[in-house]
Amino acid sequence: MFKHIDSACTAVSLSEFEHLASRTPGSFSDLPTVLRLRVDECSLSGDSELDNNLKYTVFITDKELVVFSQSVSTGISLDYPSIMLHAVSASTNSIFLQIDERTENIDDFESKDIHIHPQNPSILHEIYEKLSFCASLHQNKFPSEEDDDGDAMIDDGVGLSDQGAANLARFDDMLDNQDKHTDKKQKQ
């Protein structure tokens, strides 16, 4: 869900955070968030509720994703559980975000789509990796039943590269052969 802001986020580098944390603060919740990546001169498209004609700085922190324009002192912050999907869009040289706009009822599906276009498209995969890492630090906004019991359905090969799929098939074969070998020993 979008939170409108009028100042850029306060974040520190990982080394600064480690230094502050090593000094045993009164409360770890008082520590600033870690800045994983800052990308200047980005443009936006989609349903961001911001002016798509401006340039923005994107801050990827452990706590939230911030998109901010210094020239007009406005922006948005998104908590990671609200980001339902993030992906690299090669066709538009952008990071695609699908934002969950639901407030409390899981059945009332509402979402908005945003594209973040960095000035240099070669950074797209780094942005994606940092978003993935930071999102992994947070729980789902609306956990599903699969999240509760750990028995999520997995489709073979989904999301794997060709090499990853080949490795998975090889490991599956190794396990099958081991099971056959164990069965033979038990019959003897």
For 113-155, give the DSSP string. EEEEE-SSGGGHHHHHHHHHHHHTTS--SS--HHHHHS-----
Domain-embedded: residue 140: yes
Between residues 39 and 170, the one the model is more confident about: 39
Domain-embedded: residue 170: no
Q: Considering its fold, how many domains does the chain have in total?
A: 1
Domain-embedded: residue 169: no
User: What does the pLDDT read at residue 148?
Assistant: 47
Domain-embedded: residue 160: no
User: What does the pLDDT read at residue 164?
Assistant: 67
Find out whether 50 and 76 touch, Cβ atoms under 8 Å. yes
Q: What is the mean pLDDT of residues 140-167?
A: 55
Domain-embedded: residue 174: no
Domain-embedded: residue 171: no
User: What does the pLDDT read at residue 20?
Assistant: 78
State the residue range of the domain holding 96.
2-144
Domain-embedded: residue 82: yes
Could you tell me the CATH number of the domain that includes residue 128?
A: 2.30.29.30
User: What does the pLDDT read at residue 156?
Assistant: 44
Q: Enumerate the β-bridge partners of residue 59.
A: 38, 66
Domain-embedded: residue 186: no
Q: Give the contacts of 66 (CB within 8 A, at least 6 positions apart).
A: 5, 8, 9, 58, 59, 75, 76, 77, 78
pTM over 0.75: no
